[in-house]
Amino acid sequence: MDKKATLGQVMISEEQLAQRIKELGKQISEDYKGEEILLIGILKGAVVFLSDLIRELTVDTKIDFMAVTSYGASTKSSGVVRILKDLDSGIEDLNVIIVEDIIDSGITLHYLRDYLMGRKPKSLKICTLLDKPERREADITPDYVGFEVENKFIVGYGLDCDQKYRNLPYITCLEGI
């Protein structure tokens, strides 16, 4: 990364995040009323979002995590997806929701969706905090979206650049990269 990169202005504030996640939690709780769900958080970026989302859900909820990589230390997708950590348990006959931080090219989720569908869940949906539709290369449409964002490199609230900035409580972007 260019050493001159700096943090931009706040794009989505803590208050806006909290409000939207409350709405998402309500919507998911209504959609799955009377059912049990399994949230699969995609490490590491989705950790902050998942931990806030789960506390807005009123349905029985289990969690599991997967770690995948397609980026390395670069800010552009390599197009190659590799599983670094698989699920702890099977998902057969479960209502699964993949929880992701951001969908960019869609390559990661396209791969993950096919992979998880092969494990025969009862249902499979995608919930992403952020969506960058302008950059889409793979055919992926999320079922739940927190916010659409412009084609910038986003950091904060779990999202990183080279493992940095995940701890910012708001969403911003890097300028000068």
Q: In the 8-state DSSP scheme, what is residue 135? A: G
Residues 63-122 that bind ligand IMP (CB under 6 A): 70-71, 77, 100-108
Site string for Mg ion, 64-103 (x = CB under 5 A): -------------------------------------x--
Cα–Cα nearest to 86, from 61, 116, 57, 110: 116
Instruction: State the CB neighbour count (10 A cutoff) for residue 146.
Output: 24
Piece in contact with Mg ion (CB under 5 A), picked from 3-11, 40-48, 81-89, 90-98: 40-48
Contact with Mg ion (CB under 5 A): which of 25, 45, 142, 158?
45
Binding at 71: pick from Mg ion, ligand IMP, none (beta carbon under 5-8 Å per type): ligand IMP
Binding at 96: pick from Mg ion, ligand IMP, none (beta carbon under 5-8 Å per type): none
Active-site residue identified among 86, 104, 114, 143: 104
Cα–Cα–Cα angle for 111, 154, 78, nearest 5°? 35
* Phi, psi angles (nearest 5°) of residue 138: -95, 155
- Decide if residue 146 touches ligand IMP (CB under 6 A): no
Active-site residue 162, yes or no? no
Cβ closer to Mg ion: 37 or 130?
130
Residues 69 and 86: beta-carbon distance below 8 Å: no
Contact with ligand IMP (CB under 6 A): which of 8, 14, 31, 153?
153
Q: Structure tokens of 155?
A: 């950091």
Cβ closer to ligand IMP: 28 or 102?
102
Cα separation values, 3 from 64, 78, 158, 164, Å: 36, 22, 21, 13
Residues 59 and 33: beta-carbon distance below 8 Å: yes
Cα–Cα nearest to 71, from 152, 162, 166: 162
Q: Which residues bind ligand IMP (CB under 6 A)?
A: 42, 45, 70-71, 77, 100-108, 153-155, 159
